[in-house]
Amino acid sequence: MLKILSLLFILFLIAPTIPAIYAADSATKITGTILPSNPDTSGPKDILVTLNVLEGVSSVRETSVNTNAQGAFEFEINPIPNRIYFISTQYKGATYSSRRNYNDFQKPIEITVFDSTKDISVLEVQNHSIIVTGAVPEEGFIEILERVSIVNSSNQTFIADQADGTPSMPNFLRFALPKGAYNLDVRSNLIGGQVLEVDRGFALTTPITPTVESPHQIEFVYRVNYSEQNISLSRILRFGAKSFRLVVPTNVGTPLASQLKDLGATELNGKLLRLLEATDIEPATELEINLSDLKLPSLITKISNSLNSWYTLLIVPVILALCLIYLLVYLISRNRKPYSIESDISIDKQLSDLSHAFEAGIISKGKYQARRKRIQTQYTLKKIQEQMDRLQDNAP
């Protein structure tokens, strides 16, 4: 029994050190190499590589090292499940990255970097889809999702020329939107850059790396208001498209586009969708797209919206004005009461209340002096009357 107690006591003493020993033993390394796009040249030397350790959406650690003469780098980590190890580097204006998790962090990382170009002709739109996701007739808008697949077939990364200040922004990746589009939300698998609002659309400053496996994907969602049964979604396809598709639910409206081939309707997830498509659209093509037979708000909805509008524009201001008038009258009547002459209130109290009101800025100096004089006069007249009454009572 004594031996067991001694063993438990020893375990109790060394228990706090066990996690530290385990952590020290579990420390390992993530290794990798920055490779040039041209295998005949040597790898980039002494460039900064950053490790960002992510747990969920939070960064729990960030550290950086420089590559050696062969472009190699390494980071020491304590691998923990549910963590992502994000490795990135900047090279000639573009960001290149790779990631590892708990299961594959031991696999060496290879990140290929490219020279850069400002020649936008290296980009090509492989697929462009416009999908009308639905309409809300009561509020008078339709919602649209667009998906664009872009290919960079060169061996250089396209970098937008942000020094070009011309309104047309010829060296930007631009997308046209229908007139009046709003609530724009842009998503992409590209890294870095910004979304810029431009005339009739938006532009991206994101670097476009050469396409190695699959095309780069860009998605954007927006809304367009309508007040009639027809609306135009026409635009200029600056880059053209190898394949173009238009998808419209049959319960939303009827698509009209003479440059597209109508493939009829198909059922998807219980909805009938009308499909139109075209191939090999040339750059700078003006594509005419219209939607007709859009549903308008019902008569009851129109009346309700009209009443709500009139209520907001007229009724609410009138109610507020009446409330202000009532409050003003109430305050005036309330402020006057202390300054009227009351026969059952002493002269000292009335004069004191009047002085407090003047000092508080409730009444002006002129009103203060006039009311003070009136109080004193009425008080004097009252005393004279009382004296005369006493004289009459004492008369023989």
Q: Domain of 37: which CATH number? A: 2.60.40.10
For residue 143, being part of any structural domain is answered with yes
pLDDT at 300 (0 to 100): 56
Residue where one domain finishes, among candidates 113, 133, 153:
113
Q: 216 and 313: one domain?
A: no
The pLDDT confidence band at residue 146, using thresholds 50, 70 and 90, is very high
Q: 141 and 193: one domain?
A: yes
Q: Cβ distance 134 to 252 under 8 Å?
A: yes
For residue 337, being part of any structural domain is answered with yes
Question: What's the average model confidence in pLDDT over 68-94?
Answer: 92
- Least-confidence region, from 31-40, 60-69, 283-292: 31-40
Residue 155 gets which letter from DSSP?
S
Beta strands in 172-270 (DSSP E): 173-176, 182-188, 195-198, 201-204, 216-225, 231-232, 235-237, 241-249, 254-256, 261-268
* Number of domains the chain is built from: 3
Look at residue 329 and tell me whether its pLDDT is greater than 60: yes
Q: 223 and 361: one domain?
A: no
For residue 162, being part of any structural domain is answered with yes
Q: 137 and 286: one domain?
A: yes
Q: 81 and 188: one domain?
A: no
Gap between the Cα atoms of 107 and 100, Å rounded = 8
The pLDDT confidence band at residue 213, using thresholds 50, 70 and 90, is confident
Where does the chain have alpha helices with state H? 2-14, 18-26, 299-310, 316-336, 347-359, 365-394
**What residues contact residue 49 under an 8 Å CB cut-off, 6+ apart?**
32, 34, 64, 65, 66, 67, 73, 87, 88, 89
Gap between the Cα atoms of 178 and 200, Å rounded = 7
Region class of 90: left (phi > 0), else alpha (psi between -120 and 50), else beta: beta
For residue 8, being part of any structural domain is answered with no
Provide DSSP, 12-66. Answer: HHHGGGHHHHHHHHH-EEEEEEEEESSTTSPPP-S-EEEEEEEETTEEEEEEEEE
- Integer CA distances (angstroms), 227 to 12, 137, 192, 230, 294, in order: 77, 9, 38, 8, 9
Q: Which amino acid is at 177?
A: L
Compute the chain's Rg from CA coordinates: 40
Q: 148 and 277: one domain?
A: yes
Q: Two tokens at 296?
A: 């308008």
Q: 164 and 262: one domain?
A: yes
For residue 5, being part of any structural domain is answered with no
For residue 220, being part of any structural domain is answered with yes
Q: Domain of 138: which CATH number? A: 2.60.40
For residue 11, being part of any structural domain is answered with no
Question: What's the average model confidence in pLDDT over 200-206?
Answer: 90
Residue where one domain finishes, among candidates 78, 113, 148:
113
Q: pLDDT for 334-382, tens place per residue?
A: 554 444 444 445 677 777 777 877 777 777 877 777 777 777 766 666 6
The maximal CA–CA distance of the chain, rounded, in angstroms, is 141
Q: 265 and 188: one domain?
A: yes
pLDDT at 355 (0 to 100): 80
Question: What's the average model confidence in pLDDT over 80-108?
Answer: 91
Q: 328 and 255: one domain?
A: no
Provide DSSP, 59-128. Answer: EEEEEEEE--TTSEEEEEE---TTEEEEEEEEETTEEEEEEE-TTTTTSPEEEEE-EEE--GGGEEEEEE
Look at residue 384 and tell me whether its pLDDT is greater than 90: no
For residue 394, being part of any structural domain is answered with no
CA atoms within 13 A on the CB side of 204: 24
Q: pLDDT for 266-287, tens place per residue?
A: 988 888 999 999 999 999 999 9
Gap between the Cα atoms of 259 and 315, Å rounded = 51
Q: Over the chain, what is the mean pLDDT?
A: 81
Instruction: Write out the residue range of the structural domain in which residue 232 sits.
Output: 120-292
Residue where one domain finishes, among candidates 292, 311, 333:
292
Burial code of 302-315, b = ≥16 C-beta within 10 A, e = fewer?
Answer: eeeeeeeeeeeeee
Q: 278 and 333: one domain?
A: no
Question: What's the average model confidence in pLDDT over 374-395?
Answer: 63
- Which helix (H) or strand (E) segment holds residue 156: the answer is strand 156-158
Q: 243 and 281: one domain?
A: yes
Q: 262 and 221: one domain?
A: yes
**What residues contact residue 338 under an 8 Å CB cut-off, 6+ apart?**
350, 353, 354, 357
Q: Helix 347-359 to helix 365-394 angle, to the nearest 10 degrees?
A: 180
